[in-house]
Amino acid sequence: MEVIPSIDIKSGYCVRLYQGDYNQETIYSDDPLKVALSYQSQGAPRIHIVDLDGAATGKIEHLNIIQNIVSNLEIPIQIGGGIRDYDSATNLYSIGVDRVVIGTSAIKNPSLISQIHTSHGSDAIVIAIDARDEEVSIDGWTQGTSVDVMNLALDMKTLGVTRILYTDISRDGTLTGPNLDMNTKLVSQTGLSILASGGVTKLDDLIELQTIGVEGAILGRSLYTGDIDLSEAINLVS
């Protein structure tokens, strides 16, 4: 199982939000590149970057920071937040981004998913399913929908998607442990590769996620707080 550190960028800073609330942020660094290089040196197989401002506005806001990280790292980078059209996705691929992570457009513009899949292949795209309870949220987690997590995952599978990033918003940034029940359902009922995010707090959480068969776990606040040592985590479950 991959252990993937997350760098969430807001106003140029590395931050963590509490349950996706933009008004409850903690700033951990003013140097995203330094943080990314540190994660690489500790053995991270890839890095997950979220443009939080982009997620809220609907367009990528921190392209320069993203490009600086991609050009200075040797490991693959996946980017989410504000990717709502084909040009935005192809622009990221052109600067060396390995995967784009798309959430809102999976609901609002599913034809974009098909377009990217056709032109770049299934491994170049991850569908972010961010949910409160089992209801999917969009637009930077600010808007609810009537869409069910499992239904969306299966709909995306019919479009050729092979990888889902599932985030339980109620656990994100809370250090309360991941949603094992929903991750188990996604693994067993969709046949897709699942990346689990939200609430991962301790090494035992990673062992449990590995046991249920997720492909990777996204770690954010727990790395900043020192609750999890990245190198130790990677050695434990890789």
CB atoms within 10 A of CB 23: 6
Asked whether residue 25 carries a pLDDT value surpassing 80, the answer given is: yes
DSSP classification of residue 36: H
Asked whether residue 32 carries a pLDDT value surpassing 90, the answer given is: yes
Question: Which residues fall within 8 angstroms of residue 193, CB to CB, at 6 or more apart?
Answer: 162, 163, 164, 215
Nearest in space to 209 (alpha carbons), one of 175, 232, 229, 186? 186
Average pLDDT over residues 219-234: 96
Average pLDDT over residues 81-105: 95
CB atoms within 10 A of CB 120: 15
DSSP classification of residue 122: G
Domains and CATH numbers, the chain: 2-237 (3.20.20.70)
pLDDT at 140: 57
Beta pairing partners, 216: 2, 195
Nearest in space to 198 (alpha carbons), one of 223, 226, 179? 179
pLDDT digits (tens, 9 = 90+) for 156-201: 999 999 999 999 887 777 778 899 999 999 999 999 999 999 889 9
Where residue 137 falls among pLDDT bands split at 50, 70, 90?
A: confident
Query: How high is the mean pLDDT of the chain?
Result: 93
pLDDT at 145: 73
8 included as an active-site residue: yes
Per the structure block, which two tokens stand in for 113?
């998913």
Per the structure block, which two tokens stand in for 41?
């040196």
| Strand pairing report for 2-10 and 13-18 | antiparallel
Helix, strand, or coil (residue 232): helix
130 included as an active-site residue: yes
Q: Which residue has the higher pLDDT, 65 or 238?
A: 65
Kindly name the residue from 51, 53, 130, 168 that is annotated as catalytic. Answer: 130
Q: Which amino acid is at 10?
A: K
Where residue 130 falls among pLDDT bands split at 50, 70, 90?
A: confident
Kindly name the residue from 8, 51, 172, 205 that is annotated as catalytic. Answer: 8
